[in-house]
Amino acid sequence: MKVPFITFEGTEGSGKTTQISLLADRLRSMGHRVRTLREPGGTPIGEEIRHTLKHSPANHAMTAEAELLLMNASRAQLVREVIRPALAAGEIVLCDRYYDSTTAYQGYGRELDLQMVRNIVDVAVGETRPDLTLLFVVSQGVSEARRLARQPTLPLPFKRDRIEEAGQSFFVRVAKGYQAIAAAEPQRVRQFDATGDVAKIQAAIWDLVQPLVKRLKTQAV
């Protein structure tokens, strides 16, 4: 049976990292092999691109088109260096953001042509598409509060994040983009309210993931 490729999407601070870690622990405790990844990043080349995109002092003048291409350069590397080999080796892949982030942030947020965005994404991912995408929905207020609460704890060179410097209207468009994505592909993209109790969200996620893993072979733990 095919191992699933699951992606996690939503606005910043929506709880993706927290839930990926809980899900990976649960799957591993059952004997599954699990690979957790993040975008942009996840490979040595991708992590350099991540730094350029988010924190490099030289990134002030980055254009939306350059941002689109860098996100997808990181992704093209991750798909070929890690995701395809991991899936082929029978590992469940959990990825914090994937191409829906590009549609939401570069397509809707930066207002780039959506067909051009799709074309670039196609080059980066080819046939490597997620089986399930979990869309974490939180209000702008919650997202903003969680992002600001995290900032003082970041080490100094990492305090600045160019993408987070965008104005509020950008993040409103990103949230609308995610709604459009979910409406277009309701079978793959399953959205839920991610503002409640962590354990309750974990249970809701498990209800969606369990059918994809219940017939997979596991190793003794």
User: Between residues 18 and 131, which has the closer beta carbon with respect to ligand Z5A?
Assistant: 18
Question: CB of residue 51 vs ligand Z5A: minimum separation in angstroms?
Answer: 11
| Rg, C-alpha atoms of the chain | 17
Which residues of this protein are in contact with ligand Z5A, per CB under 6 A?
10, 12-18, 38-40, 71, 96-97, 101-102, 105-106, 146, 150, 163-164, 198, 201
Strands of the sheet containing 5-10, edge to edge, are 34-38, 92-96, 5-10, 132-137, 189-193
Judge contact between 115 and 171, C-beta under 8 A.
no
* Residue 42 three-state SS: coil
User: Between residues 89 and 159, which has the closer beta carbon with respect to ligand Z5A?
Assistant: 159
User: Between residues 89 and 149, which has the closer beta carbon with respect to ligand Z5A?
Assistant: 149
CA distance 119 to 124: 9
Question: CB of residue 12 vs ligand Z5A: minimum separation in angstroms?
Answer: 3
Q: How many CA atoms lie within 13 A of 165 on its CB side?
A: 11
Question: CB of residue 50 vs ligand Z5A: minimum separation in angstroms?
Answer: 8
Q: Is 153 exposed, middle or buried (0-12, 13-18, 19+ CB in 10 A)?
A: exposed
Nearest alpha-carbon partner for 161 in 62, 53, 68 = 53
Nearest alpha-carbon partner for 71 in 132, 108, 143, 120 = 120
Question: CB of residue 166 vs ligand Z5A: minimum separation in angstroms?
Answer: 7
Question: CB of residue 89 vs ligand Z5A: minimum separation in angstroms?
Answer: 24
User: Between residues 188 and 216, which has the closer beta carbon with respect to ligand Z5A?
Assistant: 188
Question: CB of residue 28 vs ligand Z5A: minimum separation in angstroms?
Answer: 18
User: Between residues 84 and 90, which has the closer beta carbon with respect to ligand Z5A?
Assistant: 84
The residue with tokens 């207002």 is 111
CA distance 78 to 84: 9
User: Between residues 35 and 97, which has the closer beta carbon with respect to ligand Z5A?
Assistant: 97
